[in-house]
Homo-oligomer: A and B are copies of this chain.
Amino acid sequence: MTITSARETGNAPSGTPTLRDGAFGPARELVCRECGTTRELGPHYACHECFGPLEIGYEFGTVTREQIEAGPANIWRYKALLPVPDDIETSPNTEPGFTRLLKAEHLAAELGLSSLWVKDDSTNPTNSFKDRVVACALSAARELGSTVFACPSTGNLANAVAAAGARAGIETVVFIPSNLETPKQVNSAVFTEKLIAVDGNYDDVNKLASEIAGEEDGWAFVNVNVRPYYAEGSKTLGYEIAEQLGWRLPEQIVIPVASGSQLTKVHKAFQELIALGLVEDTPYKVFGAQAHGCNPVATAYKDGVDAIRPVKPDTIAKSLAIGNPADGIYVLDITRATGGAVEEVSDEEIREAIVLLARAEGIFTETAGGTTVGVLKKLVETGQLDPAAETVVINTGHGLKTLDAVSSAVGPYATIAPTYAAFTAARIA
């Protein structure tokens, strides 16, 4: 199998002409989500017939629960279901995943639910679910012989790429808007010397990244030219939830929607587990969560239309602020087909939900998680979610990264002198 050259494809990250056997594990081809046209595995992300998005097509062998359970406590336990080689564990990587699935009894009681779980991805290596997708992108970059690992980002993705690239020992370049706050710059600059500040907004940075990906040999932009491999990493969230529930599917699941990729991949994971006989084929409803300040998919859902009208984001949930989400239409398909919904909450509701989750379950989430928990609350209140059905809500990132969102909302209960008399006078507990 050969990779066509950069000149032919216009988007090759690789100067290496050949792939080794098993470079992408059970992956067999790239398939256009729109027209179904297939293409050989390589650094391609758009269909050459209709320009639709390409995704990975597989031929799975036999995969058993026992085989998975015998694997490591990270996403590679599912390597037989991912576009990665069988020896993936031998290459340095951040070993993300197999994060906690916590039974959330207090939050359930607060919201009036009978059974609720939080899938907590804030404890991943760089504290967001992005470590999962980046680990798969890194494997693809390595197999394609890429010499530079890169991304445009303002936050979680930058952290994940910079850390994974450092650990892998591959040259790593992260592009950020030059007006990004210093703490967010530090979170990535600590891992890579090559943090590039671009004088422009995030759209400008993204556009530059696509241009570089199209022009330069050997550059693997995780969310551009190796995106089909990258996106598959989100499937592991679905696999883990099913395994951690004791190899079964939840009845309802609430997932944040930025590009919409994560939601579609969790659904794909559930469908694969059913097809492979690893879980029973029980019905489940998928719900999407957006912020009011970036609600293109929620709006289309409510309007009952199929087309997503792009918006200009204005929300504290910056990691969800994608105004023109690439997978938005698939989110509409899945939520409607499964009987779910797409709902939205205000910035104030996001802040309240962050504190609600922290005080009920001891989990400090970022604004994206606040959005998801806030939407869960609203779905219950509006009767869109069945309070008697078992529900999972996904927390995608850590509150330490968006401290400002709640710093005015919480603070000391009392300030006292350092004496026992002052303590008793304050009647604290």
Contacts and interface: CB of A to CB of B under 8 A. Distances in A.
Interface in A161-205: 162-169, 171, 173, 176, 178, 182-183, 185-187, 189-200, 204-205
A407 B362 contact: no
A123 interface: yes
Interface residues of A, number: 87
A288 to B, nearest CB: 26
Given A215-B420, A414-B196, A125 B126 contact: no
B199 A412 contact: no
Question: How many copies of this protein are present in the complex?
Answer: 2
Nearest to A125: B123
- Which of A182, A359, A360, A414 has most chain B Cβ within 10 Å? A359
Contacts of A164: 362
Contacts of A191: 358-359, 362, 364
Contacts of A200: 417-418
6 closest Cβ pairs, A-B complex? A167-B362, A163-B362, A200-B418, A189-B410, A204-B418, A197-B412
Interface stretch (A32-40, A95-103, A312-320): A95-103
- Which of A100, A187, A190 has most chain B Cβ within 10 Å? A190
Interface in A108-145: 120, 123-127
B196 A428 contact: yes
25 contacts: A95-B100, A102-B167, A106-B169, A120-B125, A123-B123, A123-B125, A127-B398, A147-B429, A164-B362, A165-B362, A171-B429, A187-B403, A189-B412, A190-B355, A190-B359, A190-B410, A191-B359, A193-B413, A196-B426, A197-B412, A198-B415, A200-B417, A208-B419, A211-B423, A400-B400
Interface string A393-429: 0000011110100110011111111111001001011
A50 interface: no
A309 interface: no
A212 interface: yes
A413 B364 contact: no
Contact of A126 (B168, B183, B219, B364): B364
Given A164-B362, A414-B196, A103 B92 contact: yes
B73 A92 contact: no
A273 to B, nearest CB: 20
Interface string A73-116: 11000000000000000001011001010110110000000000
Nearest to A207: B418
Given A182-B411, A199-B418, 15 more contacts: A92-B106, A95-B100, A126-B362, A127-B400, A148-B429, A162-B362, A163-B363, A166-B358, A173-B429, A178-B412, A185-B411, A189-B412, A190-B364, A195-B412, A207-B418
A102 B98 contact: no
Contacts of A126: 362, 364
B195 A413 contact: yes
Contacts of A414: 196-197
A360 to B, nearest CB: 7
Contacts of A291: none
A390 interface: no
Contacts of A417: 198-200
Contacts of A362: 94, 125-126, 162-168, 191
A354 interface: yes
A361 interface: yes
Nearest to A160: B362
Contacts of A198: 415-418
